[in-house]
Chains A and B, each alone.
Chain A
Amino acid sequence: MSEWLIEAEDLTKVYLMGEIEVHALRGVSLRIAPGEVISIMGPSGSGKSTLMNIIGCLDRPTNGTYHLKGQLIYDLSDDQLAEIRNRMVGFVFQTFNLLGRQTALTNVELPMRYAGVTNGRRKRAIEALKAVGLGDRIRHRPNELSGGEQQRVAIARSLVNNPAIILADEPTGNLDSKSGEEVMNILLGLNEKHGTTLVFVTHDPEIAVHTQRVIMLKDGREVG
């Protein structure tokens, strides 16, 4: 078994927009070791999100091979991909993506429900919320929380199943600088405490300075 958490070779992704082919990725290779903190940077439309979605098993590459924790992610059914996402990957999105009618607590419980966790589910969710500093907000709904707090709920949700990797697509993009900093500190803290691998997608150099390695994308290719 290889020591890499993530091993991607020559990934390409082509979207079909009617007749037109959109080459979102044109052959990207990358390796990420467990516990690494990296950022993927590049101008808008350069393929950052596309790459992140493939790493997170949310999408399939058109070509190329991808190993996650030594497992070849190829020819898996939608449900098998769902299970991998559920157990190994945590997502943090720019727009938080919380379920609006549910409380912070039930939002955080969601990944555990799909994992079939029943024992201690509530307790684990509360602990995750405490870990992001929201122990006193567990019954709040998203519209009763500030943007920074909502993103912290999303982080709690992403870490609650103890994933090997957390993928954050522009996590501070919708936040003021102070909340953004808090969110970054929480994520980096997770890496320090639990060795969680972090991949940030960003075009904010402020974020990139916190990471050990930067991958620059341009027009679907790695540059620099």
Chain B
Amino acid sequence: MELWQNILEALDSLMSNKVRSGLTVLGIVIGVGSVIAMLAIGTGAQNTITGSISDIGTNLLFVMRGSVSEELRNPKPLTLGDAQAIEDPFAAPSVVGVAPMIQGTVEVGYAGESSFTQGIGVTVDYQSVRNVDLLEGEFISDVHMLGRSAVAILGPDVAEALFGRVEGVVGETFRIEGQPFRVIGVKSPEGGSGFQNPDDQVLIPMTTAQTRLLRRSRDAVDVILVQALSAESVTSANEEIAAVLRARHRTPIGEDDFTILTQEDFLETARSITNVLTIFLGGIAGISLLVGGIGIMNIMLVSVTERTREIGLRKAVGARKRDIMLQFLTESALLSMIGGLIGIALGWGLSQMVGAIAAASDADLYPAIGLDAVLLATLFSTAVGLFFGLYPAKRAADLEPVEALRYE
């Protein structure tokens, strides 16, 4: 028996019972559909997260106060002194740039309107370490630092919010926490999302911030951004920074009161979140395919019973067991595969909808369906049909021809 003939016959048989076939594959459709949709959205989210992490630069390290692993009684704050020590080329040769930061939420106002944004106190080196591009104006200089000048670099979203435009705002004066500041530059949009939106920030000189806005005790800073020589030297930079800080903070071995995070750490976290998601989705897929498969088995058993006489006739004219097996397996596999394909289409549609909603609300989410997901879904749904069709097909193949022909 040719496979093609079998497929045509199976399609014919499935089509003759459209409603029943449709209801039977619903489980597979919904299962595959939701998994494809969630995978697409998950992949899109992961791309966005890893993209925004990588955008910051792959050779950056983040030094923070405290420890994630241990409860420390008295973690010393990070200070400008720490930052200067890390910058020492003899102590930390793998480090090329250091940018201490202090940050907090601030109220900005112009022409009677006000809103909240993130204020960050930075040093001159922030521009090179963080790779800041300006739409217009100039970055904070040593003169501003020394003079504790009331000047600010605006993120494009802030400029838009305050002035309704992103260009031609240099020289304008606005208020931060009620104090007048002069705009000296506007950052290029980075396309923000994730934890912090870099477009919704105001950068001011560290010295100004310390004395006038985000007061900290004893030169304390919140984060020290460190730029390593290259992506390869991130590990050695990590060790050098740790050595410097341990010496300065006089902490016992193994009780660091600071934490150094690399891009790799962030990516690792993002990946592990996605992995959990994948396992979770895999579980849903497994359960729905199982349920769908049982549905298919059930309907195939019904179909075998209904077609007992047909099976008897086929056997009478010479069908062997394997011919009957093949006939019913083709039917169940096809049924399930069609369910899988409809599910893929459904999942694609759903993820496009989510993408459209995300786009409408300005979030960066581009659902992506990989060819591997499509192939896997097709393969899996077909395999489910084959597996759960096996028992009904065997039942059909094992029917006694005489009994089958006598069946009413």
Contacts and interface: CB of A to CB of B under 8 A. Distances in A.
* Co-complex (A, B): yes
A83 B2 contact: no
A118 B1 CA distance: 9
Secondary structure at chain B's binding surface: helix, strand, loop or mixed?
Answer: helix
A157 B16 CA distance: 24
Contacts of A58: 315-316, 401-402, 405
A114 interface: yes
Contacts of B314: 110, 114
Interface in B308-323: 309-310, 312-323
Secondary structure at chain A's binding surface: helix, strand, loop or mixed?
Answer: helix
Contacts of A111: 317-318
A99 B2 contact: no
Contacts of B310: 99
Nearest to A97: B313
Contact of B317 (A59, A79, A157): A157
B179 interface: no
Interface in A70-86: 78-79, 82-83, 85-86
B317 A101 contact: no
Given A110-B314, A114-B1, A118-B2, A82 B402 contact: no
A86 B402 contact: no
Interface residues of A, number: 25
A91 interface: yes
B316 A85 contact: yes
Contacts of B230: none
B317 A110 contact: yes
Given A53-B402, A58-B402, A113-B1, A91 B316 contact: yes
Given A86-B317, A91-B316, A59 B402 contact: yes
Nearest to A82: B320
B5 interface: yes
B13 interface: yes
B12 interface: yes
B315 A82 contact: yes
Q: Say which size band chain B's interface belongs to.
A: 20 to 34
Contacts of A86: 317-318
A105 B313 CA distance: 16
A116 B5 CA distance: 12
Nearest to B8: A106
Interface in A157-215: 157, 161
Contacts of A83: 318, 320
A108 B273 CA distance: 61
A101 B16 contact: yes
A140 interface: no
Contacts of B313: 97, 99
A26 interface: no
A115 B318 contact: yes
Contacts of A116: 1
A86 B319 CA distance: 8
B322 to A, nearest CB: 8
Given A53-B402, A114-B1, A78 B317 contact: no
A111 B1 CA distance: 10
Nearest to A95: B309
Nearest to B322: A79
Contact of B321 (A78, A99, A113, A161): A78
Given A99-B313, A101-B16, A82 B319 contact: yes
Contacts of A53: 402
A113 B313 CA distance: 14
Nearest to B13: A101
B20 to A, nearest CB: 15
9 contacts: A58-B316, A58-B401, A82-B315, A85-B318, A86-B318, A97-B312, A99-B310, A101-B13, A161-B318
Given A53-B402, A58-B401, A110-B317, 17 more contacts: A58-B315, A82-B315, A83-B318, A85-B317, A86-B317, A86-B318, A87-B318, A91-B316, A97-B312, A97-B313, A99-B313, A101-B12, A101-B13, A113-B1, A113-B2, A114-B314, A114-B318
Question: Which 8 pairs from chain A and chain B are nearest by CB?
Answer: A86-B318, A114-B318, A79-B320, A111-B317, A97-B313, A59-B402, A82-B320, A58-B401
Interface of A: 53, 56, 58-59, 78-79, 82-83, 85-87, 91, 93, 97, 99, 101, 110-111, 113-116, 118, 157, 161
